[in-house]
Amino acid sequence: MPLSRFRHIVIEGPIGAGKTSLAQRLAERLDGETLLERPELNPFLPKFYQEPERYALQNQLFFLFQRIQQLRELKQMDLFGRLTVADFLIDKDPLFARLTLSADELHLYRQIYEALKPQTPRPDLVIYLQAQPETLIQRVRKRGRDYEANMSEEYLAALADSYNRFFYHYDEAPVLVVNSEPLNFVEREGDLELLLERISAMRGGREFFNVSE
């Protein structure tokens, strides 16, 4: 099946999985547009990593409002006439909330989320990137963002587990689960070509892509 059948692809995965890099590479390779998170615009993110209990709710709500605004603008501009590759799935937004918010904060967040979540076209495909926590922490350290310096492997392990549980039940769109451990989509063109071939060969609603090094 041709890749041209895809108009909306979402790359997802925990912090350090490489979703933004892959979204950019796929959009470039397939002559599409990108829809990317902008964590550098969130003034609460550095504060959250320093004092998570104090700034978790502000951090979560900022990202929620940012993502909703991006999706609304995308819907208004009707960019789905051309392939759009995003590095976030709005449906998974509560995943971080359940991990970081207190019970009262989570209740408030859920009310806001349900009231504001936009009606958006479901993705044609979700590519879920998996990696072990030790790999995630290595990648986070390598990119050298100051506000991520104190991120623990325990937090990333809990996050990776939450992602696994979320996508185990997710059935709103076809999902390709990718073991990203041996792959480097940025520096190795062959890895990207292998992924494109695997996407073209998809037939079911949930499939797996795993290559040995």
Quick one: pLDDT at residue 66? 92
Side-chain-side CA neighbours of 98 within 13 Å: the count stands at 11
The confidence score (pLDDT) of residue 26 equals 94
Which parts of the chain register pLDDT below 70?
1-2, 75-81, 212-213
Question: What digits encode the pLDDT tens for the residues 127-164?
Answer: 999 999 888 888 888 887 877 777 888 888 999 999 99
Rounded to the nearest angstrom, the gap between the alpha carbon of residue 212 and the centroid of all alpha carbons in its chain is: 24
State yes or no: is 87 an active-site residue: yes
Q: Where are the domains of the chain?
A: 3-209
Catalytic entry in 31, 87, 161, 171: 87
pLDDT, residue 14, reads 93
Q: Give, in words, the CATH class of 3-209.
A: alpha beta
Listed in sequence order, the residues at least 6 apart from 110 whose beta carbon sits closer than 8 Å to its beta carbon are 94, 97
